[in-house]
Structure 1
C-alpha cells in the first residue's frame, strides 16, 4: 500500500477541491474566507458572528483506550467516520487539532489521519500550515523577552528572578533546552537566572487560544496569565507588565479557525493543538462551536486515552461549548488490547487470544468511566490487515456482555466506505440532551478534586503529594485559586503515572509532583510522575527520512 504522503499527493493532484467549494457545503461564502492558496483558508470573525444565529447540530466525541507507543489511529478513525456520515447524506464537519512539528519531526506524526482517511493538503498541514504555531511560539517568547527586559531595565515590579514561572517555548522536541541558564555574558546580557523551555503546544498560551471565545476574551485571558511572583511573594500578571495588547496583536490571525478537507471533501476545521498528556488536548472551542452551528453532525477528538483527553474534554472543555456531546466513540485496536494484556510491543502483529482477554480490562474501564457521563458509548474497532477474525469475535462478545456495540472499521484502507456501519449506528441513536456534569465538584478544594479524579477515573489507591506540590497547594489556597478546575498531566500509556503499569491497575499510588496555576486558561495543571513538558527526539527521528526534490516533491513525511 502507498504511504500516507503518496496517497495524499496522488489525491491532491487529481481530486482536491478548491476550499471555496468545500466551504460552500457548510453555507460559507467566499467573502467569509481568508484564503491561504486554493486549498486552505481561515474563517472570518464576521462568519463566526453570523453562525451564532444558527441552532447547533449534534456533537460526537471520539476518544480511545490507552494507546501503545506506536499509536492506534484515533484521528484516522474520526476522519473516516466523518466521510462515512457524509456518504450517508449527512451535513458533516470535523473539528481537529493542529499538528505540532515536535511529533512530526520526532516519531508519532501530526495526528491528522492516514491512508485513505486523512486531511489534505497533507504537506502543508504537517509543516507550517497557516502559521498558527509560529505565531503562538512568537507570542510566548515575546512575553518571555519582555519579562527579562523588565528585570534588566530596573525591575519596577520587583519580580523575583527565582520565582518566574513563565517559560519560553519551541515547537520542536529539544531536550537540551529543558533546563538552561539565561543572562550569561556580563551585565549587558541580562539578569542571570534559570530557565526551562517547554514545547509550544504545552504552553498556557496555547490553552488560552483554544478556550477563548473571541478576540476580546483572548485579551482578557492573556491579562490574567501569571508570570511569577515578586520579592514579597505577591503574584505578578501579564496586565502588570502591560503586555496583553502586543500578545493579542501577534495572535490576531491565529485566533481564526482554519478550514481544509478530507480526501473525500468533508470539511475539517483544524485549530489549536494542546497536547493531552500535558495540556487539555482538544481543538479550539471557536472551531468546534462554529462547526456544530454549520453542520448536522460534528466529530471532534480528545487526545490520547480517554483517561486524559476525554476526561478533560468532558470536565473542562464541554462547559464552554454551545452543545454537549450526544454520543462518544471509543477507538480500540486488537494490538492495543493485547499490549495492555502483556504482549510485547515488538510482537504486536501476532494473534494472542489470552493476551486480548487480559487486556480487555483496559477497554472495559474506559467504557465504565465514560458511561458515568451519561452519554451513549460505541466502540470503533480500528482494523489492521493482519487482525485475526477470532479475536474480533471475542472482543464483540466481551463488549456485548457490557451492553456495548462494537463496529469494525477499515477507513485506513477504504476511506468513508469502511465506517458506514458505525456512522449509521450514530444516526440511529436516540437524541441525548442536557449538559455534561463534571466528574468532580468545581467548588471544592484542589486536593479533593485531585483525589476524586484519581479514584473515579484512574482508580488509584492513594494520592501522594510531593513537598513542592504541598507548598504550591497552600499558596493556591491563600490566593483563592484552589477551586479552579484541574488539568492532570501524566503518561498516556497507563491509568497510573507509570507508563509500564498497563491494563486496569488499582493498587497504585498517584504521585503528584507539582500543581501550577494557569489563570488565563482557567485551570490548575497537576503534574504527576515523570511527565515532561519538553519531549525529546527518539534514536531515529522521522526528520532524518524526510526530503524535498528539485521539483518541490516532498518525501518521507509519513
Structure 2
C-alpha cells in the first residue's frame, strides 16, 4: 500500500486558477502562492452577496481514540462524493499546526485517497498564516514587557499578566520561563510561558472574524492583564492592535487548495478544540456557501467538543445554520469505549480489538448513542458514517447501523473514502443530501442572557451527562468578577479533555454519576467567549520519544519524504 504522501505526490492536480474558475471565483479575486495554492480576497463576498446559500454540513465524531478515527478523511471524502453524485460541493477545513505534524499525531490533510493536495504544502507552512498569528501575538507580548520597562503608564500589575509567547513547535522546555534576565536593559524579570501558536487567542480571533474591520476590533479587545485598580488592560490600551491587524491583513484571506479529485478546498485558521472552539474560519464558510450547493466542514475532536462549539459559538457569530451533522465512528474506537481495550499512541493495537467482538462493540456504542443525542439537541438531523477498516466484519457493521438508527440517527452508512476516494462515499453523500432536505429546527443550547454558571451547567449536564458542576474558589471568584465587568453575556467555550465525554480521559464510553469540576475560568474577550478549565489543560505539547519529524527528509531529487 502506498503511503499518504506517495498517493498525494502521484495526484493529477489542476492549476489553482482553474480550480478557482470552476468554483466561480474570478482570477482577479485570487492571489497566487505558486501554481497550486492561492489566497481568496474577501472582496469576493460583495460580488456574491445576492447568491443563495448552499447546504451546510458539519462533520463531527464520537469521542476519538488518541489515534483519531477518520473525521478529516470523511470530511474530504464526503465533499468529493457529493461531486460524484452530481452536486457542486466545497470542503472547508482547518490548517494543521507544525507541532502535531512533527510530533505523534501527524498532519491533517486527510489520508489514503481522500486527501487535500499539495499535501506537503498543506502540512508545512502553507501560506504562512500561522506565522502571521505568531508574529501578531508575540508583538503584543513584546509591547507588554516594553511598557513595563518604560514606566508602566497603565499601572499594569505584573502578577496579572496572562499573555504568553507562542511558537508553532511542540517544545515542552518552554512551558514555563523567566523573561527579563540579564540586567535592566533587558527588561523587568518576571515569570512567563510559551503556548503553541494555534492555542493563541489571535488564532481564535482569525477563525471567528467576519472582515478586516471586525478583526481590528476583536484584536483591540484582547485582555492581557489588569491594572492596580483591577481593571482590564487590552491590546487597544497598549496601542498594539493596529499593528497586529496589519500583520494579519493577508492571513484573514482564506487559502484555496484542491482534493485528490480536484474538489475545491478552503483551508483557513486552526484553533485548538479544547481551549478554543476548534473550527475553521467563518469567512471561508461564508464564501463557500455562496459558491456551492453543499459545503462540508468539520469540527475538532468529538461532538461534545468541536461540534458543541460550532453550534453555540461559531454559528452565533456567523449567523449561519447547519442543515446536517455527520457523525463519524469506527468499529475499533467503539470497542475501545467498552473499556476492554486500550489504544496508546505509538504502540501496536491490541490484537483483540481487530477481531470480532460484538459484546464490546455494543457496550462501547453507548458513546455513539450519547453523541447522536448531543447533535439532536440542536435540532439537526444526524447521519452516522462508519469509517471502515479491513478488519471490520459485516456483523459488526450491521450492529452499529442498527444501534445508530434505533437511537435517532437519520441514516447510518459505511464510508470507504480512505480506500476508494469519492466513489467510496456515494452512499454517504446520498444520505446527506436526503438529510439536508428534511426541515430542521436548529436552536442554540442556551441563551446568552443567562448567568455564566447556568450556561456551564447546561453544557455539563446536557452534553457531557454530568450530574452537576463543582466550582473551585478561583472559578467562583472569576465568575463574580467577569459578571461585574459585563462579560457574562458571552458564550462558553469549555476547556476539557477530548478523550472522554467527562473531564477525566480515563472515563470511556458514556460516563455517568460524575460531577464536572471547574478549576478556573479565563476570558478570551477578543475571540468573544469565556473558557472554563475542567482540569489541567496543556497548551504547549511535548514531543514523543520518537517524533514523527525524525522520518521527514528530502530524497535524491529534492522531494519531501517521510511525511506520513
Q: Is the TM-score greater than 0.5?
A: yes
Deviation by residue 1:270-320 (Cα, 9 ceiling, x = unmatched): 000011122100000000111111100000000000000000001111123
Count of aligned pairs? 555
> Normalising by structure 1, what TM-score?
0.97
- Which residue pairs with 2:466 in the alignment? 460
**Is 1:496 paired with 2:496?**
no
Range moving further from structure 2, 344-353 or 39-48: 344-353
- How many Å apart are 1:429 and its aligned residue? 3.0
**Is 1:25 paired with 2:22?**
yes
Distance 1:208 1:53 in 2: 27
8 Å Cα contact 2:383/2:435 also seen in 1: no
- Which residue pairs with 1:94 in the alignment? 91
Paired residues for 1:116-515 under 5 Å: 116-342=113-339, 343-345=341-343, 346-347=349-350, 348-404=353-409, 405-429=411-435, 431-432=437-438, 436-515=442-521
Assess, with a 3 A threshold, how the Cα gap between structure 1 residues 322 and 474 changes in structure 2: closer, same or farther. closer
Distance 1:208 1:435 in 2: 29
Distance 1:479 1:434 in 2: 37
Distance 2:75 2:110 in 1: 8
Distance 2:27 2:466 in 1: 52
Paired residues for 1:74-89 under 5 Å: 74-89=71-86
**Is 1:516 paired with 2:514?**
no
Distance 2:291 2:42 in 1: 14
Distance 1:284 1:513 in 2: 29
Distance 1:171 1:52 in 2: 36
**Is 1:5 paired with 2:5?**
yes
Assess, with a 3 A threshold, how the Cα gap between structure 1 residues 283 and 421 changes in structure 2: closer, same or farther. same
Range moving further from structure 2, 30-39 or 193-202: 193-202
- How many Å apart are 1:225 and its aligned residue? 0.8
Deviation by residue 1:435-454 (Cα, 9 ceiling, x = unmatched): 73221221111111111110
**SS state at 1:264 partner:** coil
- Which residue pairs with 1:545 in the alignment? 551
8 Å Cα contact 1:329/1:378 also seen in 2: yes
8 Å Cα contact 2:56/2:321 also seen in 1: yes
8 Å Cα contact 2:221/2:234 also seen in 1: yes
Assess, with a 3 A threshold, how the Cα gap between structure 1 residues 430 and 527 changes in structure 2: closer, same or farther. closer
8 Å Cα contact 2:63/2:498 also seen in 1: yes
Range moving further from structure 2, 433-442 or 349-358: 433-442
Distance 1:372 1:473 in 2: 26
8 Å Cα contact 2:372/2:408 also seen in 1: no
**Is 1:60 paired with 2:66?**
no
- How many Å apart are 1:430 and its aligned residue? 5.5
**SS state at 2:159 partner:** strand
Distance 2:563 2:557 in 1: 16
- How many Å apart are 1:400 and its aligned residue? 2.7
Distance 2:318 2:485 in 1: 28
8 Å Cα contact 2:55/2:436 also seen in 1: no
Distance 1:430 1:272 in 2: 26
Paired residues for 1:30-49 under 5 Å: 30-49=27-46
Range moving further from structure 2, 475-484 or 366-375: 475-484
- Which residue pairs with 2:563 in the alignment? 557
8 Å Cα contact 1:75/1:111 also seen in 2: yes
8 Å Cα contact 1:510/1:529 also seen in 2: no
Distance 2:508 2:250 in 1: 42
**SS state at 2:442 partner:** coil
**SS state at 2:76 partner:** helix
One of 525, 534, 537 as aligned partner of 1:531: 537
Distance 2:472 2:552 in 1: 43
**SS state at 1:162 partner:** helix
Distance 2:529 2:437 in 1: 31
8 Å Cα contact 2:198/2:270 also seen in 1: yes
Compute the RMSD of aligned alpha carbons.
Answer: 1.3
Distance 1:226 1:435 in 2: 36
> Normalising by structure 2, what TM-score?
0.96
**SS state at 1:25 partner:** helix
- How many Å apart are 1:197 and its aligned residue? 1.3
- How many Å apart are 1:433 and its aligned residue? 5.6
- How many Å apart are 1:45 and its aligned residue? 2.5
- How many Å apart are 1:120 and its aligned residue? 0.1
Unaligned runs of 5+ in 1: none
8 Å Cα contact 1:458/1:495 also seen in 2: yes
Distance 1:387 1:432 in 2: 31
- Which residue pairs with 2:105 in the alignment? 108
Distance 2:4 2:440 in 1: 39
8 Å Cα contact 1:375/1:432 also seen in 2: no
- How many Å apart are 1:353 and its aligned residue? 1.3
**SS state at 2:69 partner:** coil
8 Å Cα contact 1:314/1:436 also seen in 2: no
Deviation by residue 1:496-525 (Cα, 9 ceiling, x = unmatched): 111010000111121212111111111101
Distance 2:405 2:447 in 1: 32
8 Å Cα contact 2:208/2:527 also seen in 1: yes
